[in-house]
Amino acid sequence: MKTKRVLIVGGGSSGWMAAAYLNAVLNQGARKVADVSLIESPDVPRIGVGEATVPNIHHILTAIGIDEEEFMKRVDGTFKQSIRYVNWLENKGEFYHHPFSRFRPSPIDWSAHDWLRSDRSIPFTETVSMQAIVCELGLAPKMFGAWDLGSPLTYAFHMNALKFADYLSELSTARGVTHYVDHVVDVDMQENGDIAAVKTRSGQRLEADLFVDCTGFTAILIEKKLGVKWVDCSQWLLSDRATTMHIPYEEHYPGFVRPYTTASALSAGWVWDIPLQGKRSLGYVHSSAFLSDEDAERELRAFEGAHSESLDSRIVRFKVGHREKAWVKNCVAIGLAGGFIEPLESTGLYLSDLATIMLTEHFPRGDDLAPMAYRFNRVMANRFYEILDFINMHYCLTRRDDSEFWREIQRSERTNDRLKAKLEFWSVKPPSAADFEDQFFPGMPTTPLPSSHASGDHRPPIDTAGLWSHESYEAILYGMDFLRAECDEWFGKNRPKPRVLPHIYEALTKAAKKLPPHDVWLKKKVGMQNYPTSPGAKR
């Protein structure tokens, strides 16, 4: 079988993740399926923000052959066990967690039914998982010795995305990936509409059988050359930029490293707070239609405190949507070139991760790319809309009315029709695994995917629970007090306290004694420095 030449255009996390994964999985031992090269421009500035991931990141690290502790050392990594949502419901200091681990009673799980009939005085996730309390206690998800607390806690990571790209570049080039540092100035086409080669400023002409567009929103191959349209989804997610800032621990160290991501709602969006080993990364994701860049910066600094006044900030602009097709002819768009959803559930790297895995699984052995492109596009579009619905749900359940942004986001037209059908169904029964077996709820629209003009495909997008199961939906729904008024009417207001599963009490008691503080684990295992706690620091 002839080795196919793959040229990845664009670096960054997406480009180098694709290079490292394709090379590691397709080329093993004497087998060489793909000759992988990557070209990145020296002119394109690198945007460095803290990156949060989801647990799927473990697959790609394992496939590439990356040791977890070495990875954390190289990328300033910390553990992420949950997302803590603050002030999303009423802006009164309330919060809830979306943890990664949950205990599942068997043979039947009635946890949601029981909680809906309770007085809700204990958050839902705390009745089914110890991880929210582990997070609030600031504990790591791993012990120093062998794990002996039953099922291990599921976790992901926070990382420095620039260092991650550099680490992958180092590994990839050492293992045979060709690296070009040059600027693409033109693209040559074949008569059949495929891309033939890219031309560079230095005069090189780089040919390939398959091109991967990782050039971000610039999309020089998929859009500028092939003309593939962008499907705008900003009707349901209004934010279009982020004001970002780093808080070095030399400037301000709170005395701990949170083992979770924080998403705090402000007047026109929300702020991510991602803790790394040497700094915290903040980003105010907001809508420019409701808040100017200047006011966003002022609000972010006020949110963080006086110690942030002298620190630099920058604006990162983005658009929410996706390509009609991510794979067209012999070009595959990965990363921002293929689509973007605001990072409320840390899906930025995940979508690049998924696209890379799907490309590897659907890697064409012959010359006919169409069948592989067809399936790749279907899978990626399904997952995009699954994520879109899930993020949209965080907003539409709010009861905030303290700003124009939060009032606008509650309007019916800001909730997409697929999500409306889900919420209507889940007002009759709690989410369950069966909802993802054949997901088509009463009232769900039959509008086909934008890419489904392909012959014979007129299906709407569906969820597969490939990223979030019914348990994740429950965490958000009940964290946002879903069906409060209805339950008052159905079950009365004088209801019993929630029942916490005995297993949770037992596991949490042991965990509090055996799990080290997150910062202590980081210092001992991956070499995090010691920083003095800043005066007036608050938890």
Q: CB-hemisphere CA count at 13 Å for 144? A: 12
d(CA 33, CA 365): 8
C-alpha closest to that of 225 among 188, 191, 200, 199: 188
d(CA 456, CA 80): 42
E-assigned strand segments in 41-183: 50-52, 78-80, 82-86, 95-99, 156-160, 178-181
E-assigned strand segments in 412-487: none
* Token pair in block for residue 20: 């490292």
Report residue 319: phi and psi, to 5°: -135, 140
What DSSP designation does 1 have?
A: -
The residue from 4, 73, 80, 325 that is catalytic is 80
* Token pair in block for residue 519: 């910062």
d(CA 110, CA 213): 46
What letter represents residue 346's amino acid? Answer: S
Which residues pair with residue 186 across a beta bridge? 199
For residue 310, the tally of other CB atoms under 10 A from its CB is: 8
d(CA 300, CA 358): 38
224 is catalytic: no
C-alpha closest to that of 98 among 354, 355, 471, 449: 471
C-alpha closest to that of 103 among 514, 509, 513, 506: 506
* Token pair in block for residue 505: 């009490």
Residues noted as catalytic: 80
